[in-house]
Amino acid sequence: MTAPATASATLTPRRWILDLGATALLVATSMVGFWPTFAGPSFLPAVIGGILLGLAIAAVATWRRWGILIVAGLTVAAYFVFGAAFALPQTAILGFIPTLETLQKLALGTVTAWKQMLTTVAPVAAADGHLIVPFLLALVVTALTASLALRLSQVAWALLPAGVLLMLVIALGTPEPAFPLVQGLVFAVVSMSWLALRQLWAPQNMAVSVSEVDPSRAAHMRTRRLLAGVAVLAVAGGAGVATAAVATPAQPRHVFRDVIIPPFDIRDYPSPLQAFRKNVRDEAEETLFTVQGLPKGARIRTAVMDQFDGMVYNVTDGGPTSSSAFAPLRSNMAPEAEGVPVTLKFEIDEYRGVWMPTAGELSEIRFDGDRAEDLRRGTFVNTVTGTAVATPKLTAGDEYAVDAVMPSEPDDEQLAEVAFGKVSMPKPSNVPEELTSLAAETVAGAETPIEQVRALETFLSEGGFFSHGLEGEVLSRAGHTAERISTLVGADQMIGDDEQYAVAMALLAGQLDIPARVVMGYYPDDEQAGEAVFTATGDNVHAWVEVNFEGVGWMTFNPTPPEDQVPNDQNTKPRVDPKPQVLQPPPPPQEPVDLPPTLPDDRESEDESLNLAGIIGAILLIGGISLAVIAVLASPFIVIGAWKAAKRRSRRAAARTSDRISGGWDELTDRAVDYGARLAPGGTRIEEAAVVASALTVPQVTALAERADSEVFGPAEPSPQDVESFWHEVDEIVGGLGKEAGFWKRVKARLSVRSLVGGTAVSNGLQNLKEAAAARVRREPGTIKNSTTTSSSESETP
């Protein structure tokens, strides 16, 4: 007996290899665009796994002639089964057995992973769950592309999802392209070669007929055409590379990441330097937090400030070189940091606020405790300054570990020939005029950059006196406004603490175009240095200055005089009836005429962006809900269509060819029933054909019924060619039914279940009930019509 024909039987081995191989190359070429996003090849295992699974699903489904619903189901199953190994190995048992957490993250990741990757500053870490995006894209697009290529005669349809993937990877990536020339050239060459080979291997499209030309000559001509095509592609590729080398676009490409605004504004939080004197006065004996593992000489920082406006030294809201470049928490934040790696464990006691104590160049922050998840979601890190902000605010009981790298600090001899770093710093405003001349006089004898910075540091630390202005100390007003700094450097004696001296040195350095910033934090005194656990109190709070040197980074300088360097009675007038400490108002602008009449408010543009983002989010939410509702409403119709398709496949793939002929006729009558024909059960094909021909005006079904009887009851089994021809006629007649009917009638026929329930136990039961009810009505006395009907029925009884 002849084996049943399948779709895969028409595919030669070279077609399988060509279609699957080209699909894998195109998808891999597109996915390479994620290289800058992950800063390396860490995403490649997820991509390779997705490609292999997609190819396997497409090949098996084509071989078994499974429909789109089964392919979709297999893709979803592969995503959840193999997602643990390729996307979330850190949550799986032994790295590949999915856990409840793995399945939950995979399910949520189909919706949230895209946003998380776009709102995380690149490079993103594979350990943070970002591998879901490349794995899901590779799996779905590979399965779709390979399925279209294997099932359709026109391979151009298969290039559509591959092209969409290429554009999607670019949009989800970074402005810096990965390998643009190589990607474009490989994608173009593979696509054109694929199209050419499929056209060449299609017998009906060959320019040379094998039956008319000598086989050896035909093979020679095909080879020559193939080599000519390869030469054309090579020349075109070379020309494209040469053109791109001299015509590189001046503007960077724009991606989704450029318009996504993280929900965080550093300007919502005041500068911690404003509370410096309060920390010294009210928390001197309070245990704020403890740190384990702090190396000797290291410092804990809470904030870095680099913009002065005459009132306060604050965190800026500028570009990536400023201290406002905060991004959501992620892993491996300092992949290129050099120095000694350390792990610090922080336990919060009386410390309160959003500015997190950290140290060194941050690599990773891990929270512990009841609020670990809230803190992780609400923490933003600035890798340029090594500072972090926890928007839920730190409170007693919070614990976290910091993986950081402590860079080494060279001495002055090593910095003797080093220039200042080319770092873009915000320009300070309302700086006291006397600082310009004072800075120039202070560094007049300095020859090298490091000597200039040391001169500023020495001028303040050795020429000034220390005082917090607390009870029993010399008067020293709090604050660091332009008036306070002007008073500090213009008085007979400079008196202040870290707050004033750090700001004064940073402003003096700014007048000389030296890149300097103010840092606030904590570090142990000489008695606490070297202890296993550093207990930070308000007495340990400090402010210092960092200056950037080219190729070295930010170096620490201490302009504050020692705490024992206080004014004596001979140099300071006694305070008689001291007045309360009052913060003086800032001086008026010196040259208001030079100021622009109005300045645009950056908040307005940002609010517009946020409003736009909110509108887009609302549209997407409404669209998602609408799609869900549509899916629920359409689910019965999908089930009906899938049921009919399954019946058709089983009929056409029956074991005996004669059963396939019978199945073809059953398919025709089912569609006729859906269009309104009423066939009596148990009728012959000729009788059914007569009903269909009269009800739907398709006279050709009579000849088809006779042919079906001859094929089924003939002396020999019909051949596969006979089956294909018979089904072809069936499809033409069914298609004609739809053409003759109107739109709504076609929709009603497709959604009809009459052909599905006809002949079943349910339909037979309903018919029996209907006949019993009719008989009972005939037996009931009443109208003449009933009695007449009863008499006539009795007279007809044999």
**Higher confidence at residue 790 or residue 709?**
709
DSSP letters, 92-138, are SBTTTB--HHHHHHHHHHHHHHHHHHHTSPSSPPGGGTTTHHHHHHH
* Contact of 272 with 480, CB cutoff 8 Å: no
CA atoms within 13 A on the CB side of 20: 18
What pLDDT is stored for residue 37 in this prediction? Answer: 84
d(CA 763, CA 769): 10
Query: pLDDT category, 24, cuts 50, 70, 90?
Result: very high
* Contact of 381 with 365, CB cutoff 8 Å: yes
* Contact of 36 with 116, CB cutoff 8 Å: no
Query: pLDDT category, 675, cuts 50, 70, 90?
Result: confident
Q: How far is CA 296 from the centre of its chain?
A: 41
**Higher confidence at residue 481 or residue 649?**
481
What pLDDT is stored for residue 195 in this prediction? Answer: 84
CA atoms within 13 A on the CB side of 64: 12
What pLDDT is stored for residue 226 in this prediction? Answer: 58
Secondary structure, 3-state, 24-39: HHHHHHHHHHHHHHHC
Q: Cα–Cα–Cα angle for 124, 125, 128, nearest 5°?
A: 110
User: Which segment, 132-146, 248-262, 608-622, 754-768, is predicted with the most confidence on average?
Assistant: 132-146
d(CA 676, CA 679): 9
Terminal Cα distance for the chain, rounded: 48
d(CA 121, CA 176): 13
What pLDDT is stored for residue 600 in this prediction? Answer: 45
Q: Which residues have CB under 8 Å from 778's CB, separation 6+?
A: 786, 789, 790, 793
The one-character DSSP state at 17 is: H
Integer angstrom CA distances of residue 759 from 50, 214, 635, 663, 734: 45, 58, 25, 15, 21
Does 455 score more than 90 pLDDT? yes
For the chain, the average pLDDT equals 78
What pLDDT is stored for residue 246 in this prediction? Answer: 40
* Contact of 49 with 135, CB cutoff 8 Å: yes
* Contact of 309 with 599, CB cutoff 8 Å: no
Does 783 score more than 50 pLDDT? no
282-341 per-position pLDDT tens digit: 888 899 999 999 998 899 999 999 889 899 998 875 544 444 477 777 777 877 788 899
d(CA 30, CA 161): 11
**Higher confidence at residue 73 or residue 739?**
73
Structure tokens at 489: 């450097």
Integer angstrom CA distances of residue 348 from 330, 399, 529: 22, 6, 20
Name the residue among 303, 31, 320, 257 with its Cα closest to residue 124: 257
Q: How far is CA 524 from the centre of its chain?
A: 42
Peptide bond into 449 cis (omega under 30): no
User: Which segment, 166-175, 194-203, 517-526, 565-574, is predicted with the most confidence on average?
Assistant: 517-526
Element (H, E) at 157: helix 156-172
What pLDDT is stored for residue 238 in this prediction? Answer: 52
Q: In percent, how much of the chain has pLDDT > 70?
A: 75
Name the residue among 708, 776, 697 with its Cα closest to residue 740: 697
What pLDDT is stored for residue 127 in this prediction? Answer: 79
Query: pLDDT category, 620, cuts 50, 70, 90?
Result: low
Integer angstrom CA distances of residue 91 from 97, 104, 363, 403: 9, 10, 21, 21
User: How does strand 464-466 pair with strand 494-496?
Assistant: parallel
Give me the count of residues in the chain.
Answer: 798
Does 482 score more than 90 pLDDT? yes
220-273 per-position pLDDT tens digit: 656 665 565 555 555 545 544 444 444 444 445 566 666 665 556 777 788 889
Does 498 score more than 90 pLDDT? yes
What pLDDT is stored for residue 216 in this prediction? Answer: 61
What pLDDT is stored for residue 484 in this prediction? Answer: 92
Q: Return the amino acid letter for 425.
A: M
d(CA 323, CA 273): 15
518-541 per-position pLDDT tens digit: 999 999 987 777 788 999 999 999
Q: Which residues have CB under 8 Å from 275's CB, separation 6+?
A: none
* Contact of 454 with 559, CB cutoff 8 Å: no
What pLDDT is stored for residue 230 in this prediction? Answer: 58
Query: Could you tell me where the DSSP H helices lie in 249-401?
Result: 276-282, 372-377
Element (H, E) at 434: helix 434-442
380-438 per-position pLDDT tens digit: 888 888 889 998 999 999 999 999 999 888 999 999 889 999 888 888 889 999 999 99
Secondary structure, 3-state, 716-769: CCCCHHHHHHHHHHHHHHHHHHHHHCCHHHHHHHHHCCHHHHCCCHHHHHHHHH
What pLDDT is stored for residue 264 in this prediction? Answer: 66
* Contact of 481 with 310, CB cutoff 8 Å: yes
Residues 1-4: contacts with CB under 8 Å, at least 24 apart: 1/656, 1/657, 1/717, 2/657, 2/717, 2/719, 2/720, 4/653, 4/654, 4/655, 4/660, 4/720
Alpha-carbon radius of gyration of the chain: 40
Q: Return the amino acid letter for 468.
A: H
d(CA 641, CA 658): 26
Structure tokens at 639: 């089930």
Query: pLDDT category, 636, cuts 50, 70, 90?
Result: low
Element (H, E) at 602: helix 602-652
* Contact of 35 with 178, CB cutoff 8 Å: yes
Strands (E), 153-306: 287-292, 300-305
d(CA 20, CA 146): 6
Integer angstrom CA distances of residue 698 from 425, 665, 729: 84, 14, 12
**Higher confidence at residue 595 or residue 309?**
309
Does 596 score more than 50 pLDDT? no
Angle in degrees, 0-180, between the axes of helices 434-442 and 498-511, rounded to the nearest 10: 80
pTM, entire model: 0.51
Element (H, E) at 533: strand 533-537
Q: Return the amino acid letter for 217.
A: R
Q: Return the amino acid letter for 208.
A: V
DSSP letters, 436-489, are HHHHHHHTTT--SHHHHHHHHHHHHHHHEEE----TTS--------HHHHHHHH
The one-character DSSP state at 794 is: H
Does 562 score more than 90 pLDDT? yes
Region of 41 on the Ramachandran plot (φ > 0 left; ψ -120 to 50 alpha; else beta): alpha
95-147 per-position pLDDT tens digit: 888 899 889 989 998 888 888 888 776 677 787 788 999 999 999 999 999 99
Integer angstrom CA distances of residue 30 from 113, 589, 615: 19, 57, 31
Torsion of the alpha carbons at 116, 118, 121 and 123, rounded to the nearest 10: 90
Name the residue among 405, 404, 402 with its Cα closest to residue 367: 402
d(CA 498, CA 760): 91
Q: In percent, how much of the chain has pLDDT > 90?
A: 30
d(CA 128, CA 77): 23
d(CA 341, CA 363): 9
Integer angstrom CA distances of residue 34 from 44, 116, 169, 189, 255: 9, 15, 7, 21, 13
